[in-house]
């Protein structure tokens, strides 16, 4: 058994990181892969850098439509039985695909597998790890709240290609959180597994999409839409849905508080506390009050 894996790499102005990304995909110990690079309208030197990989990758270009559109083009052009996504500023350890294809070939009832993650910075220095098992206690179907709190990083996922024929592809109307929207559609239908090894390197830098405040707004709308379309889940698991809303609003509030947007932070922490009043909510309220006092004292001094 040697199934083909299609590796889809969406890129946009990634001249600083694309070489490290591609080299990690090309150095995989599992060799039956095709690599599709989808250039989403880059205006930097990305295309010139990719010329040195001629014959090793399949290169596509389109006008800038966002990462979901780029991933969808990759899915459309892919030929593999399995699909792996790799963002152009991330990288893989050499055994990433080997471990994951072995898991899915040995567990035919599972349709998706992801891995632990190693965080690294713009200088490629390791700065931390995400060990997912402590938050996801077992393989199988993931609950909504678990998925939203500890969603798989797209670069860490390997999925059977027939999944997309069942649940559809990425929603191109979503400039952000399109991966969460997709995983929410996958989770109720399919079993998902975890390889307890940090096989994926996720880069933290100033341009990371996940650091944008817009991501929280989009994520809230994604949850709203999912709940609206799946009323039965809300009825069967109201606590699960409430935990999901709590998580996104509390994280939004903490991010706003860090940016000293105190009134906006208070609004989202209040919403979070309406779903679940916790010590974390009370602590954040205290921090807002303290920061307001300090701000007032500085104005009057």
Whole-number Å distance between alpha carbons of 101 and 194 = 12
Q: What pTM, to 2 d.p., does this model score? A: 0.85
Closest CA to 124 of 264, 247, 20, 250: 20
Assign 274 to helix, strand or coil: helix
Across the chain, how many H-helices and E-strands are there?
12, 9
Mean pLDDT, rounded, for 118-123: 90
* Residue 286, φ and ψ in degrees, nearest 5: -65, -40
Mean pLDDT of the chain: 89
Cα–Cα distances in angstroms (integers) from residue 278 to residues 3, 80, 168, 275, in the given order: 48, 46, 37, 10
Residue 223: band (very low, low, confident or very high) from pLDDT cuts 50, 70, 90: confident
Residue 110 has pLDDT above 50, yes or no: yes
Tokens of 210: 């996940």
CATH of domain 5-205: 3.90.550.10
Residue 165 has pLDDT above 60, yes or no: yes
Cα–Cα distances in angstroms (integers) from residue 219 to residues 33, 139, 194, 204, 278, in the given order: 32, 24, 23, 20, 22
Residue 27: band (very low, low, confident or very high) from pLDDT cuts 50, 70, 90: very high
Assign 114 to helix, strand or coil: strand
pLDDT of residue 109: 95
Residue 210: band (very low, low, confident or very high) from pLDDT cuts 50, 70, 90: very low
Mean pLDDT, rounded, for 162-188: 89
Residue 23 has pLDDT above 80, yes or no: yes
Mean pLDDT, rounded, for 151-178: 91
pLDDT of residue 117: 94
Tokens of 146: 């678990």
- Specify the domain boundaries for CATH 3.90.550.10 within the chain: 5-205
Summarize pLDDT for 83-104 with one digit per residue, the tens. Answer: 999 999 999 999 999 999 999 9
Higher per-residue pLDDT: 164 or 297: 164
């Amino acid at each position: 058994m040697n199934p083909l894996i299609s590796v889809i790499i969406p890129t946009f102005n990634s001249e600083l990181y694309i070489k490290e990304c591609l080299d990690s995909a090309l150095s995989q110990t599992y060799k039956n892969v095709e690599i599709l690079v989808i250039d989403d309208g880059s205006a930097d030197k990305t295309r010139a850098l990719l010329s040195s990989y001629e014959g090793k990758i399949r290169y596509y270009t389109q006008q800038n439509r966002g990462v979901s559109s780029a991933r969808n083009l990759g899915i459309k052009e892919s030929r593999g039985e399995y699909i792996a996504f790799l963002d152009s500023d991330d990288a893989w350890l050499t055994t990433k695909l080997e471990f994951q294809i072995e898991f899915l070939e040995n567990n035919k009832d599972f349709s998706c597998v992801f891995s632990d993650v190693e965080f690294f910075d713009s200088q490629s220095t390791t700065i931390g790890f995400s060990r997912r098992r402590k938050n996801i206690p077992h393989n199988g179907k993931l609950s909504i709240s678990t998925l939203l709190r500890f969603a798989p990083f797209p670069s860490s996922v390997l999925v059977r290609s027939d999944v997309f024929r069942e649940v559809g592809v990425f929603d191109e109307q979503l400039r952000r959180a399109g991966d969460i929207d997709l995983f929410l559609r996958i989770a109720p239908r399919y079993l998902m597994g975890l390889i307890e090894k940090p096989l994926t390197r996720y880069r933290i830098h100033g341009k990371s999409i996940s650091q944008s405040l817009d991501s929280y707004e989009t994520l809230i709308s994604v949850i709203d839409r999912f709940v609206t379309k799946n009323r039965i889940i809300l009825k069967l698991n109201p606590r699960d849905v409430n935990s999901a809303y709590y998580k996104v609003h509390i994280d939004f509030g903490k991010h706003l508080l860090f940016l000293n947007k105190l009134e906006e932070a208070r609004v989202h922490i209040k919403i979070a506390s309406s779903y679940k009043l916790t010590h974390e909510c009370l602590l954040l309220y205290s921090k807002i009050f303290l920061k307001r006092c300090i701000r007032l004292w500085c104005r009057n001094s």
